[in-house]
Structure 1
Amino acid sequence: MHVTNFTSSPEFLCFLVSKVLIDPGGASCHVKALVTCSGTNLMLPNKPGWLAIHQAAWYGQDTCLRVLLSGMINKRTERGESALLVAISKERLQCIEVLLERGADPDIPNYDRETPLYKACERNSAAMVAALLNHGAAVNTHCIQGWTALQEAVCRNNMEICEMLLKAGAKHNLTNMYGISPLFTAAQSGQLAALRFLLKHGADINSQAADGATALYEAAKNGHEEVVELLLSQKADANKPGKTGIITAPHRRPERNIVSMLIQATSKTRVCRTGISPLHLAAERNRDDILETLIEAGFDVNAQLSVERSKLYEDRRSTALYFSVINNNIDAVRMLLAAGANPNLDVFRPLMVAARLGCIQTVTLLVEHGADINACIPTHPTTFPAVYMFSMKYLPMFKYLLDHGGHALSCFDCIYGNQPHPPVETSRLFCEMISAPSICRWAGPIIDVLLDYVGHVPLCSRLMEHLNSYSDWSVIKDKAAPPRPLLQLCRLQITELVGCQLVKKLPLPGSLIRFLKHQEGPVDDC
């Protein structure tokens, strides 16, 4: 029976090479003896696909390398790594020099197409880069992601390596698979020294990535203030649009100082053409500091999203005010309204959003600045003010809206009158809307409040059904029955003639003014 001699196996040779760490002289002699006398096949890999040469490079055993190099200097592992690439990954400079002196190919990549030079830049080692360049390594090879050695050196802000690469013929205008150049990388990662170096050597300051972004855009987005300042001083174009049409400045999430710098270089006319204002983004992200800066700089608080951008939102929002209201950001709402924001530009009004959120403070701010309480939703028309759909569960808010001009009479309009109503399918009529399961439990109090703002009105059969459903609500039916009190009719007549906003200026006693203004009870805050 044939027995394999373990001492002649490649596994033993790899094991022996690793032991040079313990006994360099003795182990290297054994390696030499195995190679020259025992017939060990150096071309057979061990299980991971490594040859003894890779093991020697890994452990930095240049003495063993000199013995092992014959005939297999450029052999690769299962991952495509040559001994040179292994030595560079472990930063074994002496091994690197031995391999290069014995003719190792400096350009053999691994299966990710990372060359030894690329790896040396990744390890941030000027000595390894110099050794490779001295042996003719190609400088403009792309890895699988499209990065070059120069781009890797720029990412690490290593000027010594960058200088060596450019002298060796590296091109600073090559881009990776995303269209990103070394200059873009320097700006994106805030590497000021590398950025200055590339600009000095003629890199295009306004080059764009595949998505249209510029170096200035990325520096601003990532909050690199000094980089933004340098780019602007070198005439970077702050108005260069990307494929999406968004101007680079001052979008996304820059710091306030950066925004201030960019505003000076940004054309408001160009911003208008993009279909989105930086005010929208500041409001959407609750950046009150940026919002204030933009308002002070004169950006239009009533700028609306383009139709295409508005369609990206299910509610078809269009103004910065809407973003602030839906975020329940009262400070931003106050700031925008004080600067002249119109609360009536959106299809679905900010007032309706505030009512749905249940915040009387925002509702009050909007009404005080001219929000139309009686507006309807064009896509969902109703015979009554649409805001009522979102406020009736909160009676103080509902009453506030009625006090400030909300129509009440339209709530009693019903095409069916005393006749039986069909099953509820829509909420176009008030009596249908109040019959929804989520609202009908408050039907009595809601009708009771409404009756304070109308004169003689008939109650349709659907409203009567609700009032008959609970014994305590019978007094509400009595309240609606004619004739209505003369005092109530007089209040309605005076309010209609003077207007609810001017009632408080009438030369009348305070108690009468309070009666006219329906101020029998306080309005709670949110």
Structure 2
Amino acid sequence: MDFSECYGDTVSSVAAAARSGCRKAVRRLMKRGFCVDGRDNRGWNALHEAAAAGSRGCVLEIVSAAGGAYVNSLTHEGESACYLAAQRGHLAVVRLLLRAHADINQLTNDLSCPLYAAVDAGHREVVELLVGKGAEVDRTHTASCWTCLHQAVHKGHEDIVRILVDVCNLEALDDHKISPLFVAAQYGQRECLEILVNAGANVSSQAADLATPLLIASQEGHRACVDFLLDHGADPDLACSHEWPQLPIHAAAEFGHIGVLRRLIAVTHRACDRGDGAVSPLYLAVHGRQSHSVEMLLREGYSPDAQDCSHVLGVRSPLSLALSTSTDTYREPVGLLVAAGARLSEEDWMYALATDKTDLLQLILEHRLIPRPETLTRDGSVPKHHGETFLKLQELRELLCVALNQVHFAARWLPVLLKAGLDPSLLLQPHMLEQADGEVLNYLLEFVNWSNLSPPLKCILDRRRAEKTWEPGPHLGSIPRLSHVCRLQVRSVLGPDLLMRTSVVQQLPVPAPLHAFLQFRDIPEASYTHSPPSSPLSNRMQRYRRTHQHRHVL
């Protein structure tokens, strides 16, 4: 039954007169014997109508005639006349009903009361009256067990908060152990926050899940509240979670609140960056797909590799987290991390190579260049050249290891790698020649002098040809043409990285029509005809971890 909508044919005559505020009509009807306590479909009688309408005269007539018999009668929703008057801010009616011994603390069916209703609606004078008359100020209301102070703060009724802080328990907790100050921080009520702090409320109180006011203000992006809390002693390094040491900086990073994040970077201890047992805020920035947060943290010196969080978050690095979620919104964080020098592991290469898409691989190689072996230093690193960042020796090894274990996808990744400057001889491995599709194999051989292959590799090709699992290209069975040998020599002198990815070929003293030839662009790519494995990438990665072989190719 709907107790909120009033059906006109159920309202008594006295109640209708009281609703209109006609004191004379109410008096006349009562003298003629009309029922005062007649109820409509909501359970409302004439006193409820008069109180809700704010008609002090009608209330006085009914209370005087009935001798207070109906002053505490309730509607079907448990609302008293005092509650209805307080809810609507009718100060004179509330005062009259209290003199008639109305129950000041009467609860409704949903656990509200006259004071809570007045607080919720922002009726300051009614609140002052009820508090002065002894209303219970710390009783919990609603299903969340909020007190009147919680509700006043939530609504931002500053004048009422000033009244209540003098009489209420400042540390009253709801069913999640959330204090009024926490509510102020959560909803960005900066003025209420100041009133509470000045009254002595604890700025570092923690909820049941250990969340603090500073954490929730950072999560919601309330910069003014964050600044106020920090200026008044809130601890930015206080752990705010039972599961892992979550800090306010994590919340700001995850939700992309750049102003808040900038302030927290300045005051948060850097142990969260790479410390054991900690979690870098970069993880949360990547998880929240907040490229601006990622960019700011990297610019402020946070490590792109962070710490291994496999035991906490199930991922090894921020880059692994970004790569493992193959959506367009993660492309920018991937680019930022790779450009900042994040180390690429075998698992990361798996995400880029074990797929029929090349977008991630291309993105990585845009920011991390493939080096020539002779440029590698003893520690496997490559000196930066004109600001360019190269793959380290170990990263290159792991790239090749994964590539040789993902030959089924070679039609996709092989052109990308060779055009990025990978030396094709690094892929001339027995496994590649044995497992590659015929078109893929022909494409690879076009980048080398196939007449100079080692005897073991020639044996593999002869066997595949005999078994009819490979048909060589039209000219691969003959001696390479002089033009092909020449471009191989040009590639060797310049280096495949410079030749394939820069404009150096445009500067050579050769006719322009030869530029495409020198960059091997006359070779058609292999068509991708294989259906990808039916199992998800995550399953393929698990299988790879169990069965892959390290192929030492460098």
TM-score past 0.5 threshold: yes
Deviations 1:134-172 (A, max 9, x none): 2210000111211110111112332321222233x2001
Partner of 1:336: 337
Amino acid at match of 2:477: A
Amino acid at match of 2:337: L
Partner of 2:548: none
Partner of 1:303: 306
CA contact (8 A) 1:107 1:115 kept: yes
In 1, Cα distance between equivalents of 2:171 and 2:490: 77
SS of match in other structure, 1:30: helix
Q: Residue 270 and residue 62 in structure 1: after superposition, are their counterparts in 2 closer, same or farther (change >3 A)?
A: same
What residue ranges of structure 2 are gaps of 5+ in the alignment? 1-7, 371-389, 526-554
CA contact (8 A) 2:165 2:196 kept: no
Partner of 1:470: none
Q: Residue 361 and residue 336 in structure 1: after superposition, are their counterparts in 2 closer, same or farther (change >3 A)?
A: closer
CA contact (8 A) 1:376 1:385 kept: no
1:247 equivalent to 2:279? Answer no
1:409 equivalent to 2:408? Answer no
SS of match in other structure, 2:255: coil
Partner of 1:425: none
Match of 1:384 among 366, 382, 404: 404
Equivalent residue runs for 1:96-245 within 5 Å: 96-143=94-141, 144-167=143-166, 169-243=167-241, 244=243, 245=245
Equivalent residue runs for 1:386-401 within 5 Å: 386=406, 389-390=408-409, 392-393=411-412, 396-397=415-416, 399-400=418-419
SS of match in other structure, 1:120: helix
Q: Residue 96 and residue 502 in structure 1: after superposition, are their counterparts in 2 closer, same or farther (change >3 A)?
A: closer
CA contact (8 A) 1:355 1:390 kept: yes
In 1, Cα distance between equivalents of 2:217 and 2:147: 21
CA contact (8 A) 2:18 2:46 kept: no
CA contact (8 A) 1:319 1:346 kept: no
SS of match in other structure, 1:162: helix
Deviation at 1:216, TM superposition (A): 1.0
1:370 equivalent to 2:376? Answer no
Deviation at 1:409, TM superposition (A): 2.1
CA contact (8 A) 2:238 2:247 kept: yes
SS of match in other structure, 1:367: coil
Identity of aligned residues (%): 22
Deviation at 1:478, TM superposition (A): 4.5
Q: Say which structure, 1 or 2, has more relative contact order (CA 8 Å, 6+ apart).
A: 2
In 1, Cα distance between equivalents of 2:20 and 2:106: 31
In 1, Cα distance between equivalents of 2:255 and 2:77: 41
What TM-score, normalized to structure 2?
Answer: 0.72
1:292 equivalent to 2:313? Answer no
Q: Residue 490 and residue 133 in structure 1: after superposition, are their counterparts in 2 closer, same or farther (change >3 A)?
A: same
Equivalent residue runs for 1:7-86 within 5 Å: 14-20=12-18, 22=20, 24-34=22-32, 37=33, 40=35, 42=37, 45-69=39-63, 70-86=68-84
In 1, Cα distance between equivalents of 2:276 and 2:413: 42
CA contact (8 A) 1:317 1:347 kept: no
SS of match in other structure, 1:392: helix
In 2, Cα distance between equivalents of 1:265 and 1:484: 66
SS of match in other structure, 2:235: coil
Amino acid at match of 2:290: R
Match of 1:278 among 277, 281, 294: 281
In 1, Cα distance between equivalents of 2:524 and 2:365: 12
**Range with bigger deviation, 151-160 or 62-71:** 62-71
**Range with bigger deviation, 12-21 or 149-158:** 12-21
In 1, Cα distance between equivalents of 2:349 and 2:109: 56
Amino acid at match of 2:61: V
Amino acid at match of 1:375: E
CA contact (8 A) 1:20 1:61 kept: yes
Deviation at 1:310, TM superposition (A): 4.1
Q: Residue 488 and residue 521 in structure 1: after superposition, are their counterparts in 2 closer, same or farther (change >3 A)?
A: closer
Partner of 2:260: 258
Deviation at 1:198, TM superposition (A): 0.8
Partner of 1:430: 436
SS of match in other structure, 2:369: helix
CA contact (8 A) 2:256 2:290 kept: no
Partner of 1:88: 86
Deviation at 1:56, TM superposition (A): 2.2
SS of match in other structure, 1:103: coil
What TM-score, normalized to structure 1?
Answer: 0.75
How many equivalent residue pairs? 469
Deviation at 1:76, TM superposition (A): 1.6
In 2, Cα distance between equivalents of 1:96 and 1:463: 102
Amino acid at match of 1:343: L
Deviation at 1:280, TM superposition (A): 2.5
Q: Residue 20 and residue 108 in structure 1: after superposition, are their counterparts in 2 closer, same or farther (change >3 A)?
A: closer
Equivalent residue runs for 1:338-353 within 5 Å: 338-344=339-345, 346-349=347-350, 351-352=352-353
Deviation at 1:130, TM superposition (A): 1.3
Deviations 1:218-263 (A, max 9, x none): 1122221121111111121001112232122143225322212111
CA contact (8 A) 1:403 1:518 kept: no
Deviation at 1:99, TM superposition (A): 1.2
What residue ranges of structure 1 are gaps of 5+ in the alignment? 1-9, 416-428, 432-442, 468-473
In 2, Cα distance between equivalents of 1:177 and 1:241: 21
